[in-house]
Structure 1
Amino acid sequence: MVTINEVAKAAGVSISTVSYALSGKRTISQTTRQRIDRAIRDLGYRPHAGARMLAGARTHILALSAPLHSDGHLPTHMRFVTAVVQVAREHEYDVLLLATDDETSGIRRVADSSLVDGVVAMGVSERDERVPLIRELGVPAAFIGVPDEADGLACVDLDFDAAARMALDRLADAGHRVVGMIGHPHGYLDRRQGFLARFEHGLDAAASARGVRLVRQWAEVERGSGARAIDALLDGEPRVTAVIFHSNEPVVEEAERRLAERGVDVPGELSLVAAAASYDPADLAVPLSGITLPLERMCRIAVESALANVGGGGAGGHELLAPEYVDRGSVSAPRR
């Protein structure tokens, strides 16, 4: 590894002069700076991130604040991480993953040490502690999700309120009046995940407007929860004629297997809709009509907004992406 001593020797200057050139703390003549720059380039010297930031240069690293909770679905989590990394690499940026449950300490650590140029935050809650921290630190940032009190911050998400209304309306249009919903684990509710609150608001509003009765089940992370949830809906009173899945892929797969075991015909006896699916509903054993989460697009907007803020572009505001419904034949009029 090349040292600052070797750079100083090659440039014919003192170590302190190289340090001043890197930090910008003192004025260095143009000729001397050129010699130092040439030595750095020829030797392949890489000053640490803090020195580059002091000199006003970029580290070309983004932090991805992606807390992984015990009830989270790791494949979905990693789809977001992978999408962020891919977009960052297109812009010649690397990504430093901050994945602990503590959402703030990692951001403070990398910001204080000048390791990163900006932050992308995912797994956003309504009262997200990262919002005041980002403001306090003044670090360029973007959120995949829309927390409360985030005015002026760059945020992007699916319009979950509209997605819920769209899913419910499609079933109501087909004549369904008792609709089941299988949702995410209770932990999502306890953490007040912002997307879930907006989805629930839209679902309740649409059900009220269309005269539809909702019957809810919450599927936890343990194996068999999808089967238990679908059993609880089908065995309840009054029995549902349609189900909206707002849950992770394993839950939906288990529910479909349980329906096959029970001999339930889809959509003849039970209509199914996937709402804001983080997976491809077309790849399921029974392809589902519904709305797919525009995950890659969300991550692209977030990364590019964060980078725009790094560059002084002042990217801000909330962008809610309109849901798109795809009919794959899993919805029909109820038989009863």
Structure 2
Amino acid sequence: MVTISDVAKAAGVSISTVSYALSGKRAITASTRTRIEAAIRELDYEPNAGARMLAGATTNILALSAPIHADGHLPTHMRFVTAVVDTARKHDYDVLLLATDDDVSGIRRVAASSLVDGVVAMGVKNHDERVDVVRRAALPAAFIGIPGEDGHSGDGVACVDLDFELAGRLAVTTLAEAGHRSIGVVGHPPTYLARGTGFVQRFNLGLEAEAAARGIRIAVVSPTLARGAAERAFDELLDASPEMTAVIFHCNEPVVESVLRRIRERGLDVPRDLSLFAACASYDTSHLVIPLDCIPLPLDLMCRIAVESALRQVRGADALGVELITPVTENRGSVARPRL
């Protein structure tokens, strides 16, 4: 294994001079730097990441804390991962994926080893232990999601998210302005709320507030991911609310696909019999068996903002605070005025 001592010997300089060349902490002559760089290339020397951090340099590695949960949708999860990696690569950074369902152990390990320059965290909860971990480690970090019980402060860390509360209001507004007065909602599994997933709570808050303000009747089902659960939940929704003329989906793509199949099995026409709207969709609703009007989730934008926020902190800038992205709607022809 090639060491810094081997590089120094090949370049004809001291070990400390090689260290200065790597860290940039002291100026060295151009000719000396050229000899050191030639020796590094010839010997294929790779400085130890921890040593570079101790020397004040960077590792050009970000950690992505992306815990995988049994009730999650892995393709969507990996879209977030891919978007983070793509942005990091544009800044000449690699990404170390921390994917255990234990939110904090991975960050503690990389912080203790000085292996990474910073952290991007997804799968954010209201009470997110990772906030305290990155603070104690003085580790640059950005969260895709908003920690904190109020859903606005971000617990004093850098974070970015869609404005889910406004998205809930916008979903109801879109249907209410089309004349719908009784709306069903197909939501995420109950386990999302049980573990304090903030975006679900914020969406529900906005949806319920707007429905109450407009006098709209809301009926909600939250199917699990078990086989047939989505279809049964939709049947229950129709049976409990026969006057229902529209449905909002705030759930993962497989649940939406299952309900769309059930709608066809029941002979319902969209939007003549039932208007459909996908809120905060992480998938392309134009490719579904029934294309859906939607509020798209700006996943790529969220990931780009988070990575760039973490990197600004690595460079010493103050990048703290909450950035909320304003939701917008896209029309696919699945919403119309209800039949009288």
Structure-2-length-normalised TM-score: 0.92
2:184 aligned to 180, 183, 203, which one? Answer: 180
CA apart distance, 1:136 = 1.0
- Asked whether 1:142 is paired with 2:142, we answer yes
Deviation at 1:219, TM superposition (A): 1.8
Match of 1:207 among 204, 211, 216: 211
Cα distance in structure 2, aligned partners of 1:271 and 1:93: 45
Counterpart secondary structure, 2:240: coil
- With over 3 angstroms needed to count, the CA separation of the structure-2 counterparts of 1:96 and 1:333, relative to structure 1, is same
Compare 168-177 and 292-301 and name the one that shifted more.
Answer: 168-177
1:118 pairs with 2:127:
no
Note the residue ranges of structure 2 that are not aligned, 5 or more in a row: none
Output the CA distance in 1 between the equivalents of 2:180 and 2:7.
74
Q: Distance in 2 between matches of 1:60 and 1:84?
A: 14
**Deviations 1:105-131, CA, capped at 9 Å, x for gaps:** 111110111111110000001111111
1:134 to 1:33, Cα distance in 2 relative to 1, 3 A: farther
Distance 1:334 1:125, change over 3 A: same
Q: Name the aligned partner's letter for residue 261 of structure 2.
A: R
Match of 1:275 in 2: 279
Partner of 1:243: 247
Report the equivalent of 2:168: 164
**Counterpart mapping for 1:246-265 below 5 A:** 246-265=250-269
Q: Which runs of 5+ in 1 are unaligned?
A: none
Contact 1:161 1:203 in 2 (8 A): yes
Per the TM alignment, residue 42 of structure 1 is displaced from its structure 2 partner at its CA by 3.8
1:103 alignment counterpart: 103
The offset of 1:335, in angstroms, is 2.0
CA distance, structure 2, for counterparts of residue 55 and residue 150 of structure 1:
32
Please say if 1:327 is aligned against 2:336: no
| 1:89 alignment partner in structure 2 | 89
Counting matched residue pairs gives: 333
Amino acid at match of 1:60: N
Shift of residue 41, structure 1, vs aligned partner? 4.2
Secondary structure of the equivalent of 2:295? strand
Change (3 A) 1:162 1:29: closer
Residues 18, 36 of structure 2: 8 Å contact kept: no
2:73 aligned partner: 73
Partner of 1:50: 50
CA RMSD of aligned residues (A): 2.2
> In the TM superposition, what whole-angstrom CA distance separates every residue of 1:226-250 from its partner, at most 9, and x where no partner exists?
2122111111144421110000111
Amino acid at match of 2:275: S
1:313-324 aligned at under 5 Å gives the runs: 313-324=317-328
Cα pair distance change 1:82/1:23, threshold 3 Å: closer
Residue 231 to residue 137, structure 1, CA distance change in 2 (3 Å): same
Quickly say closer, same or farther: Cα 1:113–1:241, change in 2 above 3 A: same
Contact 1:23 1:54 survives alignment (8 Å): no
Question: In structure 1, which of residues 230, 233, 238 is the aligned counterpart of residue 237 of structure 2?
Answer: 233
| 3-state SS of 1:325 partner | coil
Alpha-carbon distance between aligned partners in 2 of 1:45 and 1:18, rounded to the nearest angstrom: 15
Q: Is the 8 Å Cα contact of residues 185 and 221 (structure 2) preserved in structure 1? A: yes
Inter-partner Cα distance in structure 1 for 2:296 and 2:63? 26
Amino acid at match of 2:166: A
After TM superposition, give the deviation of residue 223 of structure 1 in Å: 2.5
In the alignment, the residues of structure 1 paired with residue 5 and residue 63 of structure 2 have an alpha-carbon distance, to the nearest angstrom, of 31
Which AA in structure 1 matches 2:285?
P
Q: AA paired with 1:74?
A: L
